Structure 1
Amino acid sequence: MSPEQSIVDRGMNESYEALLASSEFAAERATWAACVERGGLSLDPDARVMVPQFPAAGEEQLRVAAVDVECKETSGVTQAVADMEAALQSRYIDANEGELDAYRETADEVTSRAQDLLTTVVDG
């Protein structure tokens, strides 16, 4: 873990990267891609996630957004991907519970001190 990355940040990053590398995500992305392509859209060639190629602002952008959302809703890919990431995060939490609990205790202490300071300043 790098000094600037907390245990929480590391968990979010690791689960996200694992999601994107999974065959399950690739299958869901392929389902979505087929739908948006049937809708006349192109995929964003630089995107690792489910993002169509967006035109400049205007009416066409609204059509692209509508097709994208329709494909995500009708195929169920949004929920499927959220469920996959939640499972990855759950495994991370289970594997790092002690360190995450310690991080939470520290965060709670900092929050408490900040609240005390604010109360002193406001009441003072």
Structure 2
Amino acid sequence: MVRKLEGLEELDFDIEAYRKRLQLLRQIVSGENQQDFAARIGIDAKRWNNYEQGYPMPRHVGMMLMTKLDGMSIDWIWYGKTGNLSGKYLEAIRAAEALEIAQAKARLQLVHPQPQAKPAKKTAKKARARKRS
């Protein structure tokens, strides 16, 4: 039986960030579909879903990812380190993260809209001065 990653917070392992990186990797490679991604790397979709839910990914699956996805880094998957990523993946990850930030800002704007600036009222003097010109 596979167990969720527990107790790793004490070791500075951010489980939520790990889960997000797995989801991001899937989205970069094959869009939203877990089944397509799992088939592409050669594992069962249910297993991939478990990994995205926080269950530990065995080393051999990490190595398989690096083999099937040329330029991917296990250091990024597990720890978020970008040093060994190819330029292609690094660029795609940065673009996806920028999009996520923009979407979060847009959602925040919907929830807490900024008040619209009121147009300045024309004073009577300015209005008369314009009429004379």
Task: Please tell me the TM-score bracket, short chain as reference.
Answer: under 0.3
Structure whose alpha-carbon radius of gyration is higher? 2
TM-score w.r.t. the length of structure 1 is 0.28
TM-score w.r.t. the length of structure 2 is 0.27
| Structure with greater helix share of residues | 1
